[in-house]
Amino acid sequence: MSLKSPKIFNYFLLVLLFLATGFSTKAQIYSHNFGTTTISTHPYTVAPNILNPNLSNSSWSNSENTWTSTTGSTGQAIRLTSSTNSTITLTFSVAPNYKIDITSFNFWRVRSNFGATDWSMTINGINVGSGTTPTTGAPLGNTNVSNAVSGLRGTVTVVISLTGATGNGTFRLDDFTLNGNVILDCSAATISSFIPATGPQNTLVTINGSGFQSGFGTSAVLFNGIPSTFNIISDTKIEAYVPAGNATGNITVTTNGCPGISTTPFNKIISDVATNYSSDIYISEIHDVGTTGDGGIGGSGGIIEIYNGTASTVNLADYSVKRYGDVGDANPSTTPLNLVGSIPPGGIFLLGLGNTTCSATYDQIFNTGFNENDEFELLKNGAVIDNVHLLFARSGYTIIRNPDAVAPKIVFDGNDWYGFELERCDNIGIHNVAVPTLPTVTHPVSKTVCESALVTFTAPLSNPAGIEVRNCFGINDDI
């Protein structure tokens, strides 16, 4: 074979280097940085910052039965003070039906002048490495285990032995990491497919596969980790109902104590009601300052509140407000006021004029005062989208749109409003909208029909008004 090609030659050298140095997995299954809070409890059982989901019960102890902490690589490091040989022990648990292989490790360490100069480490009694501890903190770097550590089940015990102390000194440990693999240690059932792939809560999902009746049989079916109600039809079929909660995710079938996981996720359709429901912005409240004769503070002050009931931010460049001196006047009393700025979804915009008893900050100054029997129009691109009448026989009032009113509305409807013949500030800057209650859905039952036969499914709603229904059907064509 000729190695004249530089690319082939370089590749050949890379392969030789790979074979000579070996290969170790660097997936972190455990990593603890010991946080930033001072440590004084023994054993130390605060959860590590990285822990494989199938590992648990992390616990750090030492032969002196006491912990202190001080500055580590970042944050805190656990600190052991001793004048003799000592040990630091980490234990954690491996979940049933799993085993782990540990391929490499790393940790940051430092000692005081009298502290232990040497360390060695074992995992479940297997010697995995040794070295020295400097007086200036430094990490080991990723270090391959010196002897294979594989197939660990149950409790894993890591022991770091410290020797060489010349007096009462300290040893600090930080950023302890184990790399390797967490492996399923049982024969799981296989999920080959499921139908439908999407649906709301209580959707009946047919799960196809094999091994569902192996050993003790299937004990659980979970959607994204959430248990569901299910029926085992056969060794190759399970029917399960989509549970409440965040059920979007992989389906897990636990058979004979061993989890089998789908390769694709189920997507749950969430039934909800939008809190922002209107087609456009609208006037939600008007507050007028009363004359002294009507018991007010006097002057021409007032506030117009505009609410954005849509799901998007609205730029006000296309909007304006007109005021008519009396309801039904042919012409506005002043030039329409062009609005400036924007309103976020569910946000409030305040037009104000003069002094009021309310401690409100105006978003824009209105161009005229207003009184009883006025009429207001909110326009978009010159066309009226909302109309409000101030049907009061005196000045000094507050009028508020009902939470369940349909808005905006071109033709004024007094039934959409409630008011007070006095100045009220408690609702300025707040507008509540009524959120309808979701209806109860009665899901259709499964039916068996022959080919070409007509079948009807019914799913009644308890309160269908204004509800959009999306149909999701799963057809199982078993013959």
Q: What is the CATH number of the domain that holds 299?
A: 2.60.40.1260
Q: 64 lies in a domain? A: yes
Q: CATH number, domain at 102?
A: 2.60.120.260
Long-range contacts of 43-46 (CB under 8 A, 24+ apart): 43/67, 44/78
Q: CATH number, domain at 241?
A: 2.60.40.10
156 and 197 housed in the same domain: no
- Boundary of a domain, candidates 390, 420, 450: 420
Q: 11 lies in a domain? A: no
177 and 257 housed in the same domain: no
Q: In terms of residue numbers, what domain contains 139?
A: 28-184
Q: 13 lies in a domain? A: no
**Based on the structure, what is the number of domains in the chain?**
3
- Boundary of a domain, candidates 395, 420, 445: 420
73 and 92 housed in the same domain: yes
Q: 76 lies in a domain? A: yes
Q: 17 lies in a domain? A: no
Query: How many other β-carbons are positioned within 10 Å of the β-carbon of residue 147?
Result: 10
49 and 177 housed in the same domain: yes
pTM: 0.49
308 and 406 housed in the same domain: yes
Q: 174 lies in a domain? A: yes
Rounded to an integer, what distance in angstroms lies between the CA atom of residue 407 and that of residue 351?
19
- Boundary of a domain, candidates 149, 184, 219: 184
313 and 248 housed in the same domain: no
Rounded to an integer, what distance in angstroms lies between the CA atom of residue 319 and that of residue 229?
53
Classify the phi-psi angles of 140: left when phi > 0, otherwise alpha if psi is within -120 to 50, otherwise beta.
Answer: alpha
163 and 211 housed in the same domain: no
Please name the residues in contact with 336: beta carbons below 8 A apart, sequence gap of 6 or more: 320, 321, 322, 379
pLDDT in tens, the chain (479 residues): 344 444 444 443 443 333 333 333 358 999 999 999 999 999 999 999 999 999 999 999 999 999 999 999 989 999 999 999 999 999 999 998 899 999 999 999 999 999 999 999 999 999 999 999 999 999 999 999 999 999 999 999 999 999 999 999 999 999 999 999 998 888 889 999 999 999 988 899 999 999 999 888 899 999 999 999 999 999 999 999 999 888 999 999 999 888 999 999 999 987 655 555 688 999 999 988 877 776 666 677 889 999 998 888 999 999 999 999 889 899 988 888 999 999 998 899 999 887 777 888 899 998 887 778 889 999 999 999 999 998 777 778 889 999 888 899 999 999 999 988 777 888 888 888 876 565 666 666 666 777 777 777 676 766 665 555 555 455 555 44
For residues 56-73, b (16+ Cβ closer than 10 Å) or e, as one string? Answer: eebebbbeeeebbbeebb
Classify 131 as helix, strand or coil. Answer: strand
Q: 79 lies in a domain? A: yes
39 and 173 housed in the same domain: yes
256 and 215 housed in the same domain: yes
Closest CA to 346 of 376, 306, 384: 306
235 and 114 housed in the same domain: no
Q: 325 lies in a domain? A: yes
209 and 317 housed in the same domain: no
Rounded to an integer, what distance in angstroms lies between the CA atom of residue 211 and that of residue 179?
32
345 and 406 housed in the same domain: yes
